[in-house]
A = this chain, B = another copy of it.
């Protein structure tokens, strides 16, 4: 569905700058961190969401992300920031990933540390580099529209902005944060860039409906495109200690003799804070944040309701089945079955059901309660059932 057209602004249908790919001076960064607790028992500490095929594409979300970014930056210019425990799995998924582009976290310190370290390392190696950070576990379709949006964001970044890509809402979603668009920015090569008035946390349904009708609010997809030095400067302004740690780490990074000790000394002390708070919100307040409207389909696959919707193309009454060797016999049932065992799964007369079958844990819930899965994971942890987390 095309967005409501906004008076006085260029429409997506009008001619626009044609970008050359790969984008010069561009580097992709993939922070591959979160476990995806709401997708338990599919997602686990040792098998996080980005290592799963959640779309039936035949490959993991991480590999999908890689394939989407390779044309933008070239595959020698994609950096992955991930946990030490996932190194082998990530490298197996991404045979093209160069050693120098693997940044391993000794423990998770949230997205400012992950993306900020990548920015600091890359800026040191290649001053003036422009980075684009994209989650490892989101689902996107409409690759050409995605590339167009990144090219516009890239142009805004060249102009000194920190740029983000907001997704044009197609429904009044309550599971996403929103970006409120402000005035057009008139940036060369980024005709559609607008200022950001504010970031808004997940709204209630009434508010989400108003956002959808108003045409000024976009979904926050966590995509950030900026000159590495501008991004670091923004961190420095808002979180100077964190910035100092990142710069110190980056200086030690490319020498094997100094990296390990620096990581051990600095990383565990870095402040845990999402980049939305350390960079995006203050940059928006200071007029340094630009947003590009993305018209491609996007989902963060935040829970099983989202996964079900994604795999039934939103048609209620259908049953989605995920799993290579799934043996599912369903009668008058809808929702989603995720099969990670070779067991026969039989459903009779259950609607909007969520059944996730793994060798050591089974989840049965409904789309309506999909958000509550995280609470179950917390309860299992408290109860000492770490063997299945």
Please list the residues of chain A having a beta carbon within 8 angstroms of any beta carbon in chain B: 41, 327, 329, 331-332, 343-350, 353, 355, 357-366, 368-369, 372-373, 375-376, 379-380, 383, 385, 388
What residues of B have a CB within 8 angstroms of the CB of A331 in the complex?
372, 375-376, 379
Q: CA–CA, A353 to B352, complex, Å?
A: 13
Q: Are A344 and B365 interface neighbours, CB within 8 A?
A: no
**Residue numbers in B under 8 Å from A372 (CB-CB):** 331, 348-349
Residues of B within 8 A of A332 (CB): 369
- Copy number in the complex reads 2
A121 smallest CB distance to B (angstroms) = 40
Tell me which residues across on chain B come within 8 A of A380, comparing CB atoms. 329, 344, 346
Task: Give Cα distance in the complex from A326 to B283, angstroms.
Answer: 52
Cβ–Cβ contact A362 & B365, under 8 A: no
Whether the pair A362, B343 counts as a contact (CB closer than 8 A) is yes
Distance in Å from the Cβ of A355 to the closest Cβ of chain B?
5
- B373 close to A362 (CB less than 8 A): no
Smallest CB separation, A136 vs chain B (Å)? 26
Is A369 in contact with B357, judged by CB distance below 8 angstroms? no
CA–CA, A210 and B343, complex, Å: 45
Residues of B within 8 A of A376 (CB): 329, 331, 346, 348
A385 touching B349 in the complex, CB below 8 Å, given contacts A329-B380, A331-B376, A372-B331: no
